[in-house]
Structure 1
Amino acid sequence: MLTLGLIGYGSVARGIVSAFPPDSVGWIALLREGVSPDLPANVRAVAQLDRLIDARPKAVVEAAGQAAVAAYVPALLEAGIPTVIASVGALSDPVLADRIAILRRNGGARAILPAGALGGLDYLRAIAALPDARVRYTSRKPPAAWTAELTALGLSAEHEELTLFEGTPEEATRAYPKNLNAAFAVALAAGADKVTVRVVADPKAAGNTHEIEAESAAGTASFRFTNAPSPDNPKTSALMALSLVAALGELLDTEGVR
């Protein structure tokens, strides 16, 4: 049986596990002390990183938030364990980004940054070298996805759309560490200095919508992705788990373990 690892076991991790035949994959899930979700028979929980590393999974998927990337991913890469990073917004910390880049170059273990809820990143990478390239990323979600934020601000978006934030990718990931990994995926592709991020609560939004508008000497482009929300978490697109499954599958095929 193939052994794979998880960091966290929320809605995204459950979607990943359900995509693999339970009789062919055994999972080791690193969870915080005291956390005890209902786990399928083929998922075993551990509370210490050393226990996960000792199990020698063929790969690990981080699905627990930006803090988990800083806390666990460098050690996994140092141990030679390939890792898929869902919370790419953690790389807005230049110290952490540099450390992971060095480990990727020198340690041999791969760190995979999936597209997540987006497409079109290949286009953004292509224009990144152009000095005049400018990209605007907008996260547009129904007000239900921003209930806590709207309440904290004493605002309502019941009838009209409301812009909650506009600024740089780094500012966006600090302001919304659980919700704007897609914004930093755009920044990683195009270059953070070329990207502006906007967050909109929109009562007319049909789902979790990502809009990318790009201009450069190479031309103009616009991408719009309207993703169904995760059944368990309206702030997360159901596509996120599918993207991680695809990235993990590609990693396993590249490593020759499937």
Structure 2
Amino acid sequence: MVTLGLIGYGTIAREIVSAFPQGSVRWVALLREGACPALPPNVGAVTQLDALIGIRPMAVVEAAGQEAVAAYVPALLEAGIPTVIASVGALSDPGLAARLAGAARNGGARFVLPSGALGGLDYLRAIAALPDARVRYTSRKPPAAWAAELATLGLSADNGAVTLFEGAPAEAAKLYPRNLNAAFAVALAAGPDKVTVRVVADPNAAGNTHEIEAESAAGTTFLRFVNAPSPDNPKTSALTALSLIATLGELLDLEGHR
């Protein structure tokens, strides 16, 4: 039986675990002290990073936010344990990105960045070298997904779309650390200096919508993804967990464990 690790055990982690046959994987979740989520029989729990490393999982999936990437992933990589990073926006911190790269080299383990709620990143990587390439990424979600942010700004989207933010990917990742990982996935593919991020609360949005507009000497493109929201978190697309599941499955296949 393959042993796999999880950092955190929230909605995304539960969906990942449920996607694999119960007898095929032994899961170990790294939880905060005092956290008591209901765990299925095939999921164990530890509260110390050293304990997770000592179990030597074949791979670990981070599903606990940008702070968890900084706190745990460098040590996992140094220990030679491949890690799938859900909170891609954490790499907006250049210092952390350098730490991750160094730890991966030192430990001989790679960190994997899934595509998450998006597609088309291969196109953006292809045009990244073109000096005239320009990309705009728009996150368009129903107002319910941004209720707290709208209230804080004293705004209402009852009568039409409201732009909550427009600016650089790194700033977007800092302002919305749990909700704009897709934006920084675009920035990593195309180059942060070529990307503008826009956040829109839109009462006419059919779901969590991601729009990518790209223009360069190679041509123009417009990509639009309308994702159903996660039932337990309207700010997160259900596709996010599916992307992590697919990425983990590819990693298992590559290592010959599935």
Q: State the TM-score bracket (shorter-chain normalisation).
A: over 0.9
Confirm whether residue 127 of structure 1 aligns to residue 127 of structure 2: yes
Q: Which residue of 2 aligns with 1:138?
A: 138
- TM-aligned CA deviation for residue 46 of structure 1: 1.0
1:117-172 per-residue CA deviation (whole Å, 9 max, x = no partner) reads 00000000000000000000000000000011011111111120000000000000
1:78-125 per-residue CA deviation (whole Å, 9 max, x = no partner) reads 010000000010000001101111223342111000000000000000
1:2-49 per-residue CA deviation (whole Å, 9 max, x = no partner) reads 110000111111110000001111100011111111111111111111
Q: Which residue of 2 aligns with 1:6?
A: 6
Classify the secondary structure of the residue corresponding to 1:226. strand
Q: Which residue of 2 aligns with 1:98?
A: 98
Letter of the structure 1 residue corresponding to residue 67 of structure 2: A
Q: Which residue of 1 aligns with 2:60?
A: 60
Q: Which residue of 2 aligns with 1:244?
A: 244
Matches of 1:57 and 1:21, distance apart in 2: 17
Letter of the structure 2 residue corresponding to residue 190 of structure 1: A
1:182-226 per-residue CA deviation (whole Å, 9 max, x = no partner) reads 000000000000000000000000100000000000000110000
The number of residues matched between the two structures is: 258
Identity level (%): 79
Classify the secondary structure of the residue corresponding to 2:74. helix
- TM-aligned CA deviation for residue 58 of structure 1: 0.5
RMSD: 0.7
- TM-aligned CA deviation for residue 241 of structure 1: 0.5
Letter of the structure 1 residue corresponding to residue 15 of structure 2: G
Decide which moves more: 153-162 or 62-71.
Answer: 153-162
Decide which moves more: 209-218 or 150-159.
Answer: 150-159
Q: Which residue of 1 aligns with 2:254?
A: 254
Matches of 1:148 and 1:45, distance apart in 2: 32
What runs of 5+ residues in structure 2 fail to find an aligned partner?
none
Aligned 1:136-175 pairs, distance under 5 A: 136-175=136-175
What runs of 5+ residues in structure 1 fail to find an aligned partner?
none
Q: Which residue of 2 aligns with 1:199?
A: 199
Letter of the structure 2 residue corresponding to residue 157 of structure 1: A
Letter of the structure 1 residue corresponding to residue 41 of structure 2: A
Matches of 1:23 and 1:256, distance apart in 2: 17
Letter of the structure 1 residue corresponding to residue 37 of structure 2: P
Matches of 1:65 and 1:5, distance apart in 2: 15
Contact kept, 8 Å, 2:78 with 2:104, in 1: the verdict is: no
Letter of the structure 2 residue corresponding to residue 125 of structure 1: R
Matches of 1:68 and 1:56, distance apart in 2: 19
- TM-aligned CA deviation for residue 240 of structure 1: 0.4
Q: Which residue of 2 aligns with 1:29?
A: 29
Classify the secondary structure of the residue corresponding to 1:204. coil
Letter of the structure 2 residue corresponding to residue 57 of structure 1: P
Classify the secondary structure of the residue corresponding to 2:99. helix
- TM-score normalised by L of structure 2: 0.99
Aligned 1:63-74 pairs, distance under 5 A: 63-74=63-74
Q: Which residue of 1 aligns with 2:85?
A: 85
- TM-score normalised by L of structure 1: 0.99
Q: Which residue of 2 aligns with 1:44?
A: 44
- TM-aligned CA deviation for residue 69 of structure 1: 0.3
Matches of 2:105 and 2:189, distance apart in 1: 19
